[in-house]
Structure 1
Amino acid sequence: MKKQRVPETNHGITGEMLVQDYDEMQKKLCERGLLKTNEIIKSGIIEGEVLEIGPGPGYLGLEWLKKCSNASLSWLDISEDMIKLAKINAEKYGVKENLTIKMGDATEQLPFSDCFFDGVFTANSLHEWENPVNVINEIERVLKVGGNFFIGDLKRNTNPLIFLLMKANLKKQVMKQGLKSSINAAYTKNEILLLLKESNFKTYEVTENYFGLSIFGKKVDK
């Protein structure tokens, strides 16, 4: 029997303690080389004006900027607390001159012009979008023709043994609960393919591994 999806909050991560806990977790993933930086580069997002939706503490985008020196990155996050922390982390990386930060809700409308970005990426935020097709269409709108996008996320049909392994790497109970909640709110590969079929994108691919899903795509002429 297929496990039913349980939607999660779309208000982002807020509160000083929770934000610090999430920062600690993401920092450890970064140190272990477990962020999706290489997948983003593999998708063809390597230069120009690029948008990251839901950067959280910023490690994914900051690591990507280190490897893509001919790019400028814009961050859009719904959480004011997370933006404050991301700014601090950006200072430590020394890449503020290539970074623009905005607060906003991607589930409504992206605050950018049509055909503005050469690339768009996001990780671990898809399961929080109240209307994912609307966000995907907004990504398509702000992308230039020929621009690439990447969406990475967890998957709901994660093997229970893999889930236990992931949970074992988290020290605090609140983060373990958050992982369970996020997996319950995540999609399966087939569900993602159905969402993409409803969207304005025509060129895309969905892959999966033990830990989650990766969506690669390009905006083409209609």
Structure 2
Amino acid sequence: MIPRQLEPEVMDTREEAVDYNSMDHGDVNRLFAEDLLELIAAHQAISGSAAGNNDMTVLDLGTGTALIPIELCQRNERLKIVATDLAAEMLRVAEVNLQQAGLRDVVTLERADAKQLPCADHCFDGVISNSLIHHVPEPGSVFREIVRVVRPGGFLFVRDLLRPDSSEELERLVKLYAGEANSHQRQMFHDSLHAALTIDEVQTLLKACGLPPSTAQITSDRHWTVATMLPAE
């Protein structure tokens, strides 16, 4: 197993934001949305809220340029998303994306640190995150905040990159999924894979936060996912 090699926690240059936004995230984002909406449907069925007209307030950690909130809100009109990121440049691009999608009144952008959220306890119906955890040196702090801000009976859906077993596998994944990207984009993907967690590391973090380790599963050749609903009080 290759060792974890940290990358900068915040991608906050204009070049990084523009290059990230222009990468082909389409298939990954669509699958994220589909899997999440399945979890939300199960959450609604269990909570008995499927027949109601209440909106669901969801926190997105590490939203980047807000591509996933856009994908989600285009599929489910009941979602109200608070999309946070620590990178001001990412949020500037996100603002443009939301304006172009006509969703500026549905998605609220906030600059916030996922390790120390400016939120009250138990204030969101669910928390989601895509590809944030590998940026954080001590990601247990993010999971603790997620547990703190989700309402009892709420859901969490976190997906991130999976660190490859070897340098050869890492290079294979870069060639396969970023082979047609520019050199800076390929380097970003390479560095992100190197900074990612293993499934064992994720499960250890969940256990420390009081969450079932089994909720973390490998869901592709380069991703792990945590998808679960918290107990209702």
Show the counterpart of 1:51: 59
TM-score normalised by the chain length of structure 1: 0.90
Amino acid across the alignment from 2:192: S
Inter-partner Cα distance in structure 2 for 1:115 and 1:86: 26
Inter-partner Cα distance in structure 1 for 2:35 and 2:76: 13
Root-mean-square deviation over aligned CA pairs = 1.8
1:5–1:186 contact (8 Å) kept in structure 2: yes
Inter-partner Cα distance in structure 2 for 1:169 and 1:146: 43
Show the counterpart of 2:6: 7
The alignment partner of 1:162 has SS state of: helix
**CA shift for structure 1 position 55:** 0.8
**CA shift for structure 1 position 69:** 0.6
Q: Structure 1 residue 134 and structure 2 residue 137: aligned? A: no
Inter-partner Cα distance in structure 2 for 1:169 and 1:60: 22
Q: Structure 1 residue 82 and structure 2 residue 90: aligned? A: yes
Query: Aligned to 1:95, which of 103, 111, 114?
Result: 103
Query: Aligned to 1:71, which of 56, 69, 79?
Result: 79
Show the counterpart of 1:121: 128
TM-score normalised by the chain length of structure 2: 0.86
**CA shift for structure 1 position 38:** 1.1
In structure 2, the CA distance between the partners of 1:162 and 1:213, relative to structure 1 (3 Å rule), is same
Of all paired residues, the percent bearing the same amino acid is 23
**CA shift for structure 1 position 218:** 2.0
Q: How many residues align?
A: 214
**Unmatched 5+ stretches in structure 1:** none
Query: Aligned to 1:42, which of 38, 47, 70?
Result: 38
Amino acid across the alignment from 1:48: M
Query: Aligned to 2:197, which of 187, 193, 200?
Result: 187
**CA shift for structure 1 position 204:** 5.6
**CA shift for structure 1 position 202:** 4.2
Amino acid across the alignment from 2:85: D
**Unmatched 5+ stretches in structure 2:** 45-54
The alignment partner of 2:77 has SS state of: coil
List aligned pairs for 1:145-156, cutoff 5 A: 145-156=152-163
1:201–1:218 contact (8 Å) kept in structure 2: no
Inter-partner Cα distance in structure 2 for 1:128 and 1:162: 19
2:203–2:214 contact (8 Å) kept in structure 1: no
Runs of 4+ in 1 over 4 A off after TM superposition: none
Inter-partner Cα distance in structure 2 for 1:183 and 1:101: 27
Q: What are the superposed Cα offsets for residues 82-133 of structure 1, whole Å, 9 maximum, x if unpaired?
A: 11110110011111111211111112x1111111100110101110112211
Show the counterpart of 2:186: 176
Amino acid across the alignment from 2:18: Q
Inter-partner Cα distance in structure 2 for 1:76 and 1:200: 24
Inter-partner Cα distance in structure 2 for 1:204 and 1:142: 21
**CA shift for structure 1 position 29:** 2.1
Inter-partner Cα distance in structure 2 for 1:34 and 1:7: 23
In structure 2, the CA distance between the partners of 1:153 and 1:203, relative to structure 1 (3 Å rule), is closer
Show the counterpart of 1:24: 22
Amino acid across the alignment from 2:191: S
Inter-partner Cα distance in structure 1 for 2:184 and 2:176: 16
**CA shift for structure 1 position 203:** 7.6
Q: Structure 1 residue 207 and structure 2 residue 201: aligned? A: no
The alignment partner of 2:25 has SS state of: helix
Inter-partner Cα distance in structure 1 for 2:210 and 2:136: 17
